[in-house]
């Protein structure tokens, strides 16, 4: 089954404790992206990657890191989480082409930072 998987699905952590949220896709997509969803703000793009070793900032990259060492994986790293990073996080992927492809979304990771 074609899918985007994220782990963990739920995470409660404390301020300053480094964490990684994994994202993997099995569709051989070049493009991958991370979003956060907050009430009233919709989805905001954190980082995106056009292909292996190619990443770029979205609208809200502060406090996050990413890496794209393999085509199928795109982990999101919070080096020192803070309460304002409490949110619902989605990973997505799509073919690259010229940008006209829809994105496939993972099930989401609900993160709480206390």
Partner 1 sequence: AQSVAQPEDQVNVAEGNPLTVKCTYSVSGNPYLFWYVQYPNRGLQFLLKYITGDNLVKGSYGFEAEFNKSQTSFHLKKPSALVSDSALYFCAVRAPGFKTIFGAGTRLFVKA
Q: Which residues of the shown chain bind partner 1 in the complex (CB under 8 A)?
A: 4, 31, 33, 35, 40-45, 48, 50, 56, 58-59, 90, 92, 96, 99-100, 102-108
- Pairing state between β 109-113 and 42-51: unpaired
Nearer to partner 1, 15 or 51 (CB): 51
Strand partners, 51: 54
Q: Minimum Å distance from CB 96 to partner 1?
A: 7
CB nearer partner 1, residue 86 or residue 101: 101
């Amino acid at each position: 089954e074609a899918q985007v998987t994220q782990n963990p699905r739920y995470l409660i952590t404390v301020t300053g404790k480094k964490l990684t949220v994994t994202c993997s896709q099995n569709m051989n997509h070049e493009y991958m992206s991370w979003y956060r969803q907050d009430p009233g703000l919709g989805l905001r793009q954190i980082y995106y990657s056009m292909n292996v070793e190619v990443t770029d900032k979205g609208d809200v990259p502060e406090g996050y890191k990413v890496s794209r060492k393999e085509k199928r994986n795109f982990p999101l790293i919070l080096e020192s989480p803070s309460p304002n990073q409490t949110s619902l996080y989605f990973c997505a992927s799509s073919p690259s082409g010229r940008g006209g492809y829809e994105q496939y979304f993972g099930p989401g990771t609900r993160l709480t930072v206390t």
